[in-house]
A and B are shown apart, each in its own frame.
Chain A
Amino acid sequence: MELSKNRTVRAVVFLILSLYALITITPFLWSVSTALTKTHHVDLLLQNWGIPPEPTLDNFRYLLEHGDFGRWFLNSLIVTVCTTVGKAFFNSLAGYALARIEFPGREFWFWFIISSMMIPNIVILVPRYLIVHHLGWLNRYEGMIVPSLTTAFGVFLMRQFFLTIPKELEEAARIDGLSRFGIFWRVVLPLSRPALAAQVIFNFMEEWNNFVWPNLVARSREMYTLTVGLQVFKNEHYSFWNQVMAGSMFLTIPIIIVYLIFNRWFIRGITISGMKG
Chain B
Amino acid sequence: MLRRLRSQKVQDIVTAYVFLVPTLMILGIFVFAPVFYAIYLSFFDYDILAPQNSRFVGLGNYLEAFQDPVFRKAVKNVIYYAAVVVPTQMVLAFLLALGVTSGTRFQNFFRVAYFIPTVTSSVVISHMFLYIYSTTGLLNHVLGWFGIPPHNWMEDVRTALPAIMAMNIWTTAGQYMVIFTAGLNDIPEEYYEAAKVDGATYWQRLWYITLPLLRPVTLFVSMMSVIGTLQLFDQPYLMTNGQGGPADATMTVMLYIYKNAFGGYFRMGYASALSVLLFLLILVLSIIQRKWFGQEVQY
Contact = CB atoms under 8 A, between A and B. Distances in A.
Interface in A1-44: 1-4, 10, 13-14, 16-17, 20-21, 23-28, 30-31, 34, 43
Interface residues on B, range: 35 or more
Given A103-B16, A125-B257, A216-B262, A119 B127 contact: no
Interface in B101-139: 101-107, 109-110, 112-125, 127-129, 131-132, 136, 138
A122 to B, nearest CB: 5
B153 interface: no
A147 interface: yes
Nearest to B40: A127
Contacts of B104: 3, 10, 13-14, 17
A102 B8 CA distance: 11
A266 B276 CA distance: 33
A197 interface: no
Given A2-B192, A3-B104, A259-B116, A120 B227 contact: yes
B117 A34 contact: no
B212 interface: no
A205 B119 contact: yes
A90 B24 CA distance: 10
Given A212-B234, A251-B123, A124 B35 contact: yes
B131 A123 contact: no
* Chief secondary structure at chain B's binding surface: helix
B148 interface: no
A97 B20 contact: yes
B179 A122 contact: no
Contacts of A30: 128, 131-132, 138
Interface residues of A, number: 92
B190 to A, nearest CB: 12
Contacts of B27: 113, 116, 150, 152
Nearest to B134: A241
Interface hub of B20, B24, B184, B189 (most chain A Cβ within 10 A): B20
Contact of A127 (B33, B96, B107, B127): B33
A43 B231 CA distance: 36
Interface stretch (A52-60, A63-71, A164-172, A227-235): A227-235
A196 interface: no
Contacts of A125: 257-258, 261, 275
B292 interface: no
A133 interface: yes
A199 B33 CA distance: 26
B250 to A, nearest CB: 16
B122 A209 contact: yes
A146 interface: yes
A255 B115 CA distance: 12
A209 B125 CA distance: 11
A161 to B, nearest CB: 16
B48 interface: yes
A150 B33 contact: no
A122 B13 contact: no
Interface in B260-279: 261-262, 268, 271-272, 275-276, 278-279
B202 A3 contact: yes
B124 A230 contact: yes
A106 interface: yes
B241 to A, nearest CB: 7
B23 A113 contact: yes
Given A2-B102, A235-B241, 12 more contacts: A1-B206, A1-B210, A27-B125, A31-B124, A46-B141, A101-B12, A103-B13, A126-B275, A211-B238, A259-B119, A266-B119, A275-B175
Interface of B: 11-13, 15-17, 19-20, 22-24, 26-27, 29-35, 37-38, 41, 48, 96, 98-107, 109-110, 112-125, 127-129, 131-132, 136, 138, 141, 170, 174-175, 178-179, 182, 184, 187, 189, 192, 202, 205-206, 210, 220, 224, 227-228, 231, 233-234, 238, 241, 254, 257-258, 261-262, 268, 271-272, 275-276, 278-279, 282
17 contacts: A1-B101, A1-B184, A14-B106, A17-B96, A17-B107, A20-B96, A30-B131, A97-B17, A116-B27, A122-B231, A122-B282, A124-B34, A180-B11, A211-B123, A248-B127, A251-B124, A275-B224
Interface of A: 1-4, 10, 13-14, 16-17, 20-21, 23-28, 30-31, 34, 43, 46, 90-91, 93-94, 96-98, 101-104, 106, 109, 112-113, 116, 119-131, 133, 146-150, 152, 155, 180-181, 184, 205, 208-209, 211-212, 216, 226-227, 230-231, 234-235, 241, 244-245, 248, 251-252, 255-256, 258-260, 263, 266-267, 270-271, 274-275
